[in-house]
Amino acid sequence: MSMLREDGSRRVAVTGMGVVSGYGVGLDAFTEGIFAGRSAVTKITAWDASALPCQIAARPPDYDASVYFKNPKDARRFERVTRYAVTATRQALEQSGLSISEELADDTGVYICSGIGGLDTFHEQLYRAKELGAMKLSPFFIVNAIGNMPGGVVSIETGARGPSFCVVSACASSGHGIGEAMREIRSGRMKVMLAGGTEASCNEIGIGGFSTMQAVTFDFNDTPEKGSRPFDARRSGFVMGEGSAVLVLEDWEHAQARGAKILAEVVGYAATSDAHHFTAPPPDGRGAVSAMRRALADAGISAGQIGYINAHGTSTPLGDKAETQAIKTVFGEHAYKLKVSSTKSMHGHMLGAAAAIESVACISAFQRGEVPPTINQEEADPECDLNYVPNRAQPFDGEYAMNNTFGFGGHNAVVIYKKV
């Protein structure tokens, strides 16, 4: 089998995946949850949300992150958004069986992205400054607040000395991060990239901020598991989730030479902008249309070869309708043969980490021979009329899967994976 693509660029393998989600720590907990159609959304109990119109989220349970750090004390210095990223990275490297040696360090990069960054830190420290004065701020305030720090800490923890960037493009952040990491390997500049996303925004100002802009649902506080319902007629806004997912991307030849188990191949990527509105998509989904078409062209495949789309599918009235229209525009009659699901119905919308965790869902679909469902499909919307894999997983033997992520500001990222 050739180590190169037809255009002479390097092939890119996925050799490891790590996850922290509302289901807990670990890939198994995540995949068992989503393929069983079980919601990770619960009533918020980590703090008092009773004054807010949205009181539900999918937040990981507390766990001991110190076991994932070289120095356990560092786990206490960094906030959740960084702890999640380090945890997911350690798991991904363990599955990959990859050790970042001194010889490999300069050829290993880190693109771990976040849409918001250290929101806990902003929340806590701004209150502290107001009450006690700016000189009482924590010396770790800036370190924990800036969005690039999770990737920076992962680089320190793993010894990776290649490029370390944080793409910030709202909900498309980790889609762009994975795609750009793929390009680093394709070009031959890097042999390994640790790519993904992390987010920890399920706090008072996170939920409050999305509530005041009426982006999250207010209608399911008493039945949290029903709150995220993409493409359903009763959808009324998204449900926030948080956590991290990290992929080990590797030059195909390098992975084979060390005898790694290759989980999937990253074959296509595109990024576009809507140039329309800061939150709402264009009704015809033209930015998404362009991104999907360009990703197909990048992969060198036709629309008819895609078997599964893990949709952006946030459970917003406008977004789900626009994405459905975009899929119909790109895929034509094949759109009705596709399996299209939104796992956000179960793990919530993880913002900048969404594409990363949904990429894990795509790759797991290849491995399990089934696609995860969109739960809470109870009342059909005539404008959302595709096969959204309602409520139960469906068999899958396709060769290609597409992941869509579209962020506030009109940022679009599409990544395509191939079964191996």
> What is the C-alpha separation between 128 and 413, in angstroms, rounded?
37
CB 259, CB 98: distance < 8 Å: no
- Between 13-17, 134-138, 300-304, 367-371, the lowest mean confidence (pLDDT) is in 134-138
pLDDT (average), residues 340-361: 98
Residue 1 confidence (pLDDT): 63
Q: Which residues contact 383 (CB under 8 A, 6 or more apart)?
A: 321, 324, 325
Structure tokens at 226: 């029903």
The yes-or-no verdict on residue 336 having pLDDT over 70 is yes
171 flagged as catalytic: yes
pLDDT (average), residues 321-350: 98
> What is the C-alpha separation between 414 and 290, in angstroms, rounded?
10
In terms of pTM, does the model score above 0.85? yes
Looking at domain 12-257, its CATH class is alpha beta
Confidence grade of residue 7 (pLDDT, cut at 50, 70, 90)? confident
Q: Among residues 176, 254, 312, 347, which one is catalytic?
A: 312
pLDDT (average), residues 176-188: 98
276 flagged as catalytic: no
Residue 282 confidence (pLDDT): 87
Buried b (16+ CB within 10 A) or exposed e, 212-245: eeebbbeebbeebbbbbbbbbeebbbbbbbbbbb
Write out pLDDT tens, residues 59-99.
999 999 999 999 999 999 999 999 999 999 999 999 999 99
> What is the C-alpha separation between 145 and 166, in angstroms, rounded?
13
Residue 13 confidence (pLDDT): 98
Residue 283 confidence (pLDDT): 85
The superfamily (CATH) of domain 270-418 is Thiolase/Chalcone synthase (3.40.47.10)
The yes-or-no verdict on residue 227 having pLDDT over 70 is yes
Q: Among residues 54, 171, 202, 384, which one is catalytic?
A: 171
Domain ranges in the chain are: 12-257, 270-418
pLDDT (average), residues 252-256: 98
> What is the C-alpha separation between 178 and 181, in angstroms, rounded?
5
Residue 279 confidence (pLDDT): 81
Task: Report residue 294: phi and psi, to 5°.
Answer: -70, -35
202 flagged as catalytic: no
DSSP tally for the chain: helices H, then strands E: 14, 15
> What is the C-alpha separation between 144 and 125, in angstroms, rounded?
10
Percent of the chain with pLDDT over 70: 100
Question: Which of 118, 303, 308 minimizes the C-alpha distance to 206?
Answer: 118
- Asked if domains 12-257 and 270-418 share a fold, the reply is yes
Mean of the per-residue pLDDT values of the chain: 97
Q: Among residues 349, 362, 384, 411, which one is catalytic?
A: 349
Number of C-alpha atoms within 13 angstroms, CB side, residue 101? 6
Task: Report residue 372: phi and psi, to 5°.
Answer: -70, 155
Strands 56-57 and 42-43: antiparallel
332: amino acid identity, one letter: G
Structure tokens at 178: 């994975």
pLDDT (average), residues 150-163: 98
Structure tokens at 381: 């919307």
> What is the C-alpha separation between 231 and 384, in angstroms, rounded?
6
> Partners of 264 in the beta sheet?
14
DSSP, residue by residue, 15-31: EEEEEEETTEESHHHHH
Residue 127 confidence (pLDDT): 87
> What is the C-alpha separation between 347 and 364, in angstroms, rounded?
15
Give the residue carrying structure tokens 């945890």.
Answer: 87
Percent of the chain with pLDDT over 90: 95
